[in-house]
Amino acid sequence: MVKYQNDPLSTTFQALADPTRRAILARLALGEASVGELAEPYAMSLPAVSKHLKVLEGAGLLARERDGRVHRCHLEPQAMRAAADWIAEYRRFWEAQLDQLARYLEHSPTPLSRIKENSDEPGEPET
Amino acid sequence: MVKYQNDPLSTTFQALADPTRRAILARLALGEASVGELAEPYAMSLPAVSKHLKVLEGAGLLARERDGRVHRCHLEPQAMRAAADWIAEYRRFWEAQLDQLARYLEHSPTPLSRIKENSDEPGEPET
DNA sequence: TTGATATTTAACCATTTGGTTAAATATAGG
DNA sequence: CCTATATTTAACCAAATGGTTAAATATCAA
């Protein structure tokens, strides 16, 4: 009865909304790796990592080639591009906004306090 | 006992992983709007939209100024930039990959069939 | 004060998510 | 064939998600 999301872009963003999965992608940007190798850095169980991989695969961000009993995983670039493209549509808008912010900060007599309390968690990049 | 995600980047991607919320952001890129105006295009109830707005606000993608009883919502660019920055780290990698794909397609005698069946849902942009 | 309008809060529900452990499957190598 | 290794599947669980309806809150305006 409830409506759930399964469109490709939602699936991609959903896949990116987990730090473990983002870390796995970061690892794979360095080169392909087996499931065991990908799981090694994490405290969680192998089935948990296996699930993460399936989510990434379902989002089209990762693909694998089976080589005997080892699955070699590698990045699949196209889905990431779709996400990047979506965000890029807003680029001009938010760059203009950030320019305004920068100008405000430069000319304002009381620079930081008002901005700080008005902007919820700026949020800096991560792994 | 279980580990849940609350880091800013995960929160942002999570917020983007819903078509209604992306449509709301798209609407706000055209200019600020009240909650009622934002809710109008959707079949869902007002509380449902209100929840979506709170998610976007919690992700730092949206802010509002209360003007009497009407809340005027507008985009907040910084969180989106953090997400864009994260994806951009992979840009060089997947652009190289896509170049390879393009070259493959150009030189291959059987161009589309193998690619099609190997890449889960390419996924084109959306609202 | 009374009533309409704008929006949120509360309580509820079903599905999804991210994890677990235990068991199954497949392959590699004596 | 037997056993170790690589990985997935199954069954389960608690919390989060996306929706609902009904009630609360706040403001405007007569």
Q: Which of B34, B59, B32, B57 is nearest to A93 (CA)?
A: B32
| Helix, strand, or coil (residue A114) | helix
- CATH class assigned to A8-79: mainly alpha
Tell me the pLDDT of chain A (127 aa) as tens digits: 454 677 999 999 999 999 999 999 999 999 999 999 999 999 999 999 999 999 999 999 999 999 999 999 999 988 999 999 999 988 877 776 656 656 555 554 444 433 333 332 333 333 3
Indicate yes or no: strand C within 7 A of the C-beta of A112: no
* Largest Cα–Cα separation, chain A: 67
Interchain pair A60, B87: CB under 8 A = no
Q: What is the pLDDT of residue A127?
A: 37
Phi-psi region of B60 (alpha: psi -120 to 50; beta: other; left: phi over 0): left
Q: What is the pLDDT of residue B114?
A: 36
Distance between CA atoms of residues A17 and B15, nearest Å: 9
- The first and second tokens of residue A123, run together, are 């949020």
Q: What is the pLDDT of residue A45?
A: 98
Distance between CA atoms of residues B109 and A10, nearest Å: 35
| Cβ neighbourhood burial of A120 (10 Å; 0-12, 13-18, 19+) | middle
Q: What is the pLDDT of residue B98?
A: 59
- The first and second tokens of residue A85, run together, are 């493209």
pLDDT digit string (tens) for B83-108?
Answer: 999 999 888 777 766 566 565 555 55
Q: What is the pLDDT of residue A13?
A: 98
Probe site for chain A from B65, B91, B120, B124 (most A CB atoms < 10 A): B120
**Angle ∠(A124,A127,B3) on CA atoms, nearest 5:** 95
Instruction: Give the residue ranges of chain B where pLDDT is below 70.
Output: 1-4, 96-127
**CATH 3.40.50.1580 applies to domain B8-80:** no
Q: What is the pLDDT of residue B43?
A: 96
Q: Does A88 contact B at CB distance below 8 Å?
A: yes
C1' of nucleotide C5: residue with nearest CA: B69
Structural domain spans, chain A: 8-79, 81-118
